Amino acid sequence: MPLPPASSPFDYLIKQIQTDLRRAAELCEEINTNRHLEPRHKNLDELKHALSAGPNFVRQQADNARDLKGADADGGDGKALLLDSQS
């Protein structure tokens, strides 16, 4: 199965993390519904809230990382580029 299209490997990973966090928040809701917990279950509600905020947090941090001087999320740490130029 081919990887879904993404503008870069870094973006692919960010999107995958966001998808996983959204699914985890959905699972919290399913647990709440299917386990017949009391209407408010503090720990589960807090977990769902934290997971729901996760995708936006991950995107903000990824954007911040791209703005760092010298950061190249898709180029690695530069060692590979240096080795390629010596070949």
pLDDT at 83 over 50: no
- 50-62 pLDDT tens trace: 999 999 999 999 8
pLDDT at 70: 65
Domain chopping of the chain, boundaries: 9-71
Residues found in the chain: 87
Distance spanning both ends of the chain, measured CA to CA: 33
- 64-81 pLDDT tens trace: 887 777 666 666 555 545
Q: CA distances (Å), 21 to each of 2, 28, 69, in order? A: 22, 11, 28
